[in-house]
Amino acid sequence: MKKQNKNLAALTPPLGWNSWDCYGPAVNEEQLLGNAEYMAEHLKDFGWQYVVCDIQWSEPNAGKEGWAYVPFAPLCLDEYGRQIPAENRFPSSAGGKGFAPVAEKIHAMGLKFGIHIMRGVPRLAVHRQLPVLGTDTTCNRIASSDSVCRWNSDMYGVDFRKPGAQEYYNSIFNLYAQWGVDFVKVDDICNTNMYPHDPYSAEKEIEMIRHAIDQCGRQMVLSLSPGPAVIEKAWHLRKNANMWRITDDFWDQWDLLLHMFERCEVWQRHVSEGCWPDCDMLPLGRIRVTIDGVGEYTHFTHDEQITMMTLWSIFRSPLIMGGEMRDNDEWTLSLLTNEEVLRVQQHGKNAEQVLRSEERVIWKSDAEDGSRYAAFFNLTKQPQEISIPLAELELDGSCHVRDLWKKENLDDVAGILSATVPAHGAVLYQLTQI
């Protein structure tokens, strides 16, 4: 088997949508395709392309208890212990079609389709002793009963030492390839949180998944969750995955956004083609819909939303929209379709934190044309003036200045770059030497 160059699946950080922030475990086919149609109409021309169905898609009763997971929930499985979509939620999957009809519709829109899975083998497949496709073993013989997720009871880990373990992972990714899956988010694997002394205990399962993708014949983006990722294992993550979460679940709270500056500082040297430390989904627009059927708009202020989008973009995190996009207001849509900011995220190079204190943060990166990007962040509750000598941005003399959020040119500067930045806000400039 010729090993894939996994970096080719994501030469730039992915732009997409994930169902979790708005629908939790309960998204259905109509909601999934509805958001895909919105993306195709409003976002595709700006580079957005991935539509990802998050957790519990094989559980018929998901969402009946709101956001909570149902302990030992019944899952829909095929005869080889592989999860298949629940037909009551994804009616086009009936007759053994799986996600192929959904993927076909999304591909016809010019987009790409992704799914979420938990690492391991379903408990039900283990208890039923279902066969592993292409082997003479069964699911109970490959399972590791002491390797379990602490927050979801659906799976056992797969013991890489057992005959048939790799073949099981091969079988599920071969199935996903048949469906037309382009993106797989694997959960409970980047930081398992099972063993405090070894948060990266699923290392061998990551390797089995990498091998399974390589042999399936279809290029897929591999995204690992949850975080925080283990910085000492950056080499292993870069070798095997395209995305890995550097935080636990990120929501619309200022303290969580504040912590992301430290996480981005830690991971800034590990950003490269095909290797994208992931700041998690963007809790923008209308989110938490499954809780009461209505949801609410993000708690972030407009300035905090600018801060989040600016940090994610200059750091070059994937941008994965989390809200119900069909309810986007003009402001939310404008955040997602600013082509000048998206260019920073897609094509910036050598992103680096220049300064971080309790009051302010400054980042810089290089543009394709040789100019420089600079981002100022105000961490305080009051507007403040932030300044930096151009020399600290590795610039000499005078510069033209363009405000990328406002899409307007500002006065030229010489020697020092300054900006008045709103409370919890940010500015993002492109600087071109004169």
The predicted-structure confidence for 369-404, as pLDDT tens digits, reads as follows: 999 999 999 999 999 999 999 999 999 989 999 999
Quote the pLDDT of residue 293.
Answer: 83
For residue 275, give the DSSP letter: B
pLDDT of amino acid 66: 80
Q: What is the pLDDT of residue 44?
A: 98
Query: If we measure between CA atoms, which residue out of 353, 390, 394 comes closest to residue 370?
Result: 394
359 band by pLDDT with thresholds 50, 70 and 90: very high
What rounded mean pLDDT belongs to the chain?
96
What mean pLDDT is predicted for residues 263-272?
A: 98
pLDDT on residue 199: 79
- The predicted-structure confidence for 34-79, as pLDDT tens digits, reads as follows 999 999 999 999 999 999 999 999 999 998 878 889 999 999 999 9
Tens digit of pLDDT for each residue in 8-38? 999 999 999 999 999 999 999 999 999 999 9
User: What pLDDT is recorded for position 200?
Assistant: 80
CA distance 45 to 348: 19
Residues 157-200 have pLDDT tens digits of 999 999 999 999 999 999 999 999 999 999 999 987 655 566 78
297 exposure class (CB count in 10 Å sphere: 0-12, 13-18, 19+): middle
* pLDDT reported for residue 4: 73
Q: Band of the pLDDT at 127, cuts 50, 70, 90?
A: very high
For residue 192, the model assigns a pLDDT of 77
